Amino acid sequence: MQYRDFGKTGVKTSLLGFGAMRLPIIEENPSQIDEKKAIEMIRYAIEHGVNYVDTAYPYHMGNSEKIVGKALRDGYREKVFLATKSPVWQVEKHEDFNRFLDEQLEKLQTDYVDMYLMHALNKERWEKIKALRFSEFFERAKMQGKIRFAGFSFHDKYPVFKEIVDGYDGWDFCQIQLNYVDVNYQAGLRGLKYAASKELAVVIMEPLKGGKLVRLPQRPKDILQSNGRNWSEVEWSFRWLGNFPEVSVILSGMSTLEQVKENVEIIKNVTPNNLTEVDLKLIEEVKKTLESFAVINCTACGYCMPCPSGVDIPENFRLYNEAVMFGDWTGGRSTYRWFMGQKISASFCKECGACLGKCPQKLDIPSLLKRVNMELTEAK
């Protein structure tokens, strides 16, 4: 197992982290975790060097923390750094921060968590937790010994990420989405570098882009195989992330024992600067090939925003393009339903034309949004 410094904290974490968001389930019910299999997976990972276990309040409809707590009995708790997250969207008053933490400690069967995150921050949630004095909660919880290190996970654009990093001196780490396709998405590579410049540990989520990078179309797959490395798509993805010394942990949401075993073996060979220039050029070629499959030529410049109707135009186009790129209409429709719930989907376009003339690519945005809405709500 490879280990890396966890930012300025003075501890070392395994490069591979166990993400408990996609544990094996029974009868396709996400709330019914296959307890025996999940515990076996978590303990196998720990026995083979993984010392970072990540869960969260809502995972598996509230049951992930319970199973992780059971898996860490019998001496396993002392072998890991345990991370979980505050459900900030459910926090309505300052006292709720501590109420949720106490509930989580009980579910996890522990007196403290090592890494505690404000979950899925964006601009709106950042303003909310500031108003609710989250920093006072963190300082008090640290003094009480309930948490060791304070962090946040992030889902918004880079300027918001930078604002959050700079907005609290007590951050120890952050968690961002990153893979070789999403280099400019959300915090992106700029976020990785900026957080590291502030001595924050950086934990990576979605290293396989929700599994899309292990289901590459044939052309990109052939490119990766052209240099004779004989690496799986998973290994290419992990090696690309591990190439950056600023990456502290790569979280993998593993669903089978076979995946755990494969990932443990892969990580043994993932070190900073492990890729050659040829390797990096191949990955860049794969990225460009995937991007060439996009049917809407949106560069996500944001000139069309804000939309008077609240539609997140670049995000709708990105989601549609990725459904086409990877042939993942099921995943695209699922995310689109979430967009609808957040009232940012293309379905809310009123064709007012405010965006017309603003796009450097001269896109007919209202017509394209109508297409996105139609195709992401149809069965494929």
Q: φ, ψ for residue 268 (rounded to 5)? A: -55, -30
Number of continuous H segments (helices) and E segments (strands) in the chain: 14, 12
Which class is domain 3-283? alpha beta
Q: Is 288 exposed, middle or buried (0-12, 13-18, 19+ CB in 10 A)?
A: exposed
Residues 24-69 pLDDT 10s: 999 889 899 999 999 999 999 999 999 999 999 999 999 999 999 9
The per-residue pLDDT of the chain, averaged, comes to: 94
b/e for 311-330, b at 16 or more Cβ within 10 A? bbbbbbbbbbbbbebbebbe
Residue-range domain boundaries for the chain? 3-283, 313-376
What does the pLDDT average to over 115-122? 96
Distance, CA of 116 to CA of 118 (rounded, Å): 7
Quick one: pLDDT at residue 228? Answer: 83
Geometric angle at alpha carbon 378, from 376 and 380, rounded to 5°? 90
The pTM of this model reads 0.88
Name residues whose C-beta falls within 8 Å of residue 47's C-beta, 6 or more positions apart in sequence: none
Q: How many CB atoms lie within 10 A of CB 264?
A: 20
| pLDDT bracket for residue 299 (50, 70, 90) | confident
To the nearest 10 degrees (0 to 180), the angle between helices 257-267 and 233-242 is 50
Nearest Cα neighbor of 4 from 198, 288, 173, 246 is 246
To the nearest 10 degrees (0 to 180), the angle between helices 94-108 and 134-143 is 40
Residues 313-344 pLDDT 10s: 999 999 998 899 888 899 899 999 999 999 99
